Structure 1
């Protein structure tokens, strides 16, 4: 069990909360109710899951402004300094968040947090692409491309302008503000996962832009064969969803395509290697500027739902360029999300099997033991899932020999839907307890303070007190 002085209790929180409630009130609630000692400040985000108030159509919490914010766009909630952006065409004024005028969350919050002994991390969410395309001139140049050269919805990790933008953004933050860490979030997956469907899937086969093609050739991948393979795979997936059964069955045909076009998997790995290289370079750049600034990654929820995605997330390998890993272990919303993922998987490569048969197979692959497809949307997953995921991550770090810290992401009022599992204080209490007893060095309360009920926040504080960590 961790010493309380070494335990990180982090809260993801956006600018709107400080604007609505005031800096002191928010920090009072976080410290006094939840035992929070670290802020993940959503200083750069275009996604409503990390920025803005509660999502429209979901109950408002018992604090903050009692209204939704349909005007939310997102962007940079600090002040960008032009001298850091000379290597990219994207200029500071083009990605400045405009909902709160000239409000600088970082300048307003960090000094007060420091006075209270709280740490402040930059919480950077890069997964979007839609709003940037509408607000930043020439942003479409950065977008991924499919095998036909048609632009997708997300930027390409291998595009030098996009990479330089994020390198500039991070350098700006750690030089311009007294931040203690950088938490970088990228909730994206490769072309194979996007074709399978489910939460986060775009359906797009990317990226075949000139930068990715050139990098693939350097790695010895036959670009044309990869392109043909993904066109054939996409055709198969579309027919499977239309209930057009191959003569030898769905899974056999899927496997046959992988044998016929081994470049399919080579390209999938190529995409993930581009993302990993981005991580490595961010880590090295931060450490070169200030070795004391902590750097870590948000490993998103698909890691718990898909064995195919999990295979791309080797936590032992990742530990070599991570001071911490925020491993998403959202148990309440996991039920609805997993049921949705299984529905898509069952409609494609596992269509030969009955839904419950496929469910048990995937559970076995993931080392998860939860309820039936009919029950989990209403019940969610248990705190035992949080315990198992934490133990698996802690063991992976031990195998690497690195001092990387594991901070499970804890589900606190993440929106689901009417009639689906909603977070209760006991859920938070049990999840925090399970994570800490399993060897975590802290937790990250997620997704954002602006959608959490105070009773659920208080349940975290109670768990920490009972664990003698507060």
Structure 2
């Protein structure tokens, strides 16, 4: 078959509520004995149901075959004890979860002793942005005092929907979160996910670009960038995107008009580069804090699937560069869900810079550019993406790109939430073939994602079967007999 390490990384992302709903011992025994899990990636702070709630797509898909089958009154927050000494350098201090189901428990104190007794690794996982993230089951309100003072300011002078990552209080808050976790808990690693949209991303998606808060303007000045001149340039480019989305025709076509307006306003690309570097700087800072506090704790990057679905982002986020601040990477490949995600991404191009072409015309070329070999665009939502091409291809790409400088643990989608009735459904065979494809492509581990609370055990059984065939898990009968 294929070679695989005998001490593999077999992880699963899991929300705190699953341990409360089903009991810590029951969850750990099920995951270890039935599924073969040896690493728990626990969402310890979030305001997103996808990370710390129950299944967010229950209205469309029903409830999974385990856990509490009812909505969760999630408000979000930190699911560990908040220690004030780590937040004296920021005005963001009151963010502990008040979810009644959690009863003020510290989820890591609850789980770590029992997980360690079973030889299971504990890795807290964080995702930025944390708040009001469309499609991720966001909490209705974010009740953190002072957080609105950290919000971005867009091109039109409005406060925008997310805190600015260059705001020192927001940035130092993240520093404190990571330090608190590493210093106070017996953990093996941290997993960090950065899913921010760049200024160009936002304009393609119909949003005004940013951020032009005082902190970003000061950083620009330190780099010799005139923020006022940049705003003038952005006004021209933002006007182009709005005109393109409205259906206005251009003499030489939409794509040519984009090149024309960008070449006439290169300051936009300078700002895009500054934004990108500051975004990566946060990743680097958190890596450094982890290593300073405890060099034995690993730092992993949970890498957005948009990075391989969008040629601009793929150019911006090279694998080898990310190995400078990561011990391992987890490329997100939610196969059954991926067709809809890819189609949505192509929709941004189809409504703006490639508006003069149909998806059927430009997607075959986009597949070639991105290294994908999947179903035609008018079928890919219904078929999903094939584990033997998609998961295998993305794993091989990451392994090749990391050049042995960071391990690759594939993010295998198990019941990632669907948004359409006609969207492909996860099956045991989907998971089975995804696991085999990972090891065939040279991956060193897997992480079932995005959240155990939304997964069907029957689908996880497909992965367990693959692990048994690879010699990475004992058959359930053998485990029961011990």
TM-score, structure 2 as length reference: 0.93
The equivalences for 1:25-424 within 5 A come to: 25-55=26-56, 56-57=58-59, 58-69=61-72, 71-91=73-93, 93-99=94-100, 100-130=102-132, 134-197=142-205, 203-383=207-387, 384-398=389-403, 402=405, 404-416=406-418, 417-424=420-427
Task: Give the Cα separation in 1 of the matches to 2:140 and 2:381.
Answer: 33
Task: Give the Cα separation in 2 of the matches to 1:95 and 1:348.
Answer: 42
| Aligned twin of 1:435 | 438
Of the structure 1 ranges 132-141 and 280-289, higher mean CA displacement relative to structure 2 is found in 132-141
Task: Give the Cα separation in 1 of the matches to 2:12 and 2:342.
Answer: 25
Q: How many aligned residue pairs are there?
A: 461
Shift of 1:133: 7.2
- Deviation per residue, 1:240-288 (Å, 9 max, x gap): 1221111211001111111011111121121111111111111111111
- Deviation per residue, 1:174-216 (Å, 9 max, x gap): 111111111112221201012212xxxx724111111111112
Aligned to 2:446, what secondary structure does the other structure show?
A: strand
- On the 8 A contact 1:46/1:125 being kept in 2, the answer is no
- On the 8 A contact 2:245/2:352 being kept in 1, the answer is yes
Task: Give the Cα separation in 1 of the matches to 2:62 and 2:341.
Answer: 19
- On the 8 A contact 2:156/2:208 being kept in 1, the answer is no
Shift of 1:344: 2.4
Shift of 1:2: 5.5
Shift of 1:136: 1.2
Change (3 A) 1:418 1:132: closer
Aligned to 2:270, what secondary structure does the other structure show?
A: helix
Aligned to 1:342, what secondary structure does the other structure show?
A: helix
- Deviation per residue, 1:400-450 (Å, 9 max, x gap): x62x11111101001112121110000000111101111111111000001
- On the 8 A contact 2:200/2:209 being kept in 1, the answer is yes
- On the 8 A contact 1:189/1:309 being kept in 2, the answer is no
Task: Give the Cα separation in 2 of the matches to 1:310 and 1:74.
Answer: 32
Task: Give the Cα separation in 2 of the matches to 1:105 and 1:44.
Answer: 10
Aligned match for 1:453, one of 437, 456, 469: 456
Aligned to 1:94, what secondary structure does the other structure show?
A: coil
- On the 8 A contact 2:343/2:377 being kept in 1, the answer is yes
Aligned to 1:114, what secondary structure does the other structure show?
A: helix
Task: Give the Cα separation in 2 of the matches to 1:437 and 1:203.
Answer: 41
- Deviation per residue, 1:117-149 (Å, 9 max, x gap): 000001112213346974112211111111232
Of the structure 1 ranges 278-287 and 233-242, higher mean CA displacement relative to structure 2 is found in 233-242
Task: Give the Cα separation in 2 of the matches to 1:439 and 1:3.
Answer: 8
Task: Give the Cα separation in 2 of the matches to 1:266 and 1:391.
Answer: 32
TM-score, structure 1 as length reference: 0.95
- Deviation per residue, 1:316-352 (Å, 9 max, x gap): 0110110111111121111111112212210110011
- On the 8 A contact 1:4/1:468 being kept in 2, the answer is no
Task: Give the Cα separation in 2 of the matches to 1:392 and 1:94.
Answer: 39
- Deviation per residue, 1:369-395 (Å, 9 max, x gap): 111121111100111111111111111
Task: Give the Cα separation in 1 of the matches to 2:314 and 2:384.
Answer: 20
| Aligned twin of 1:13 | 14
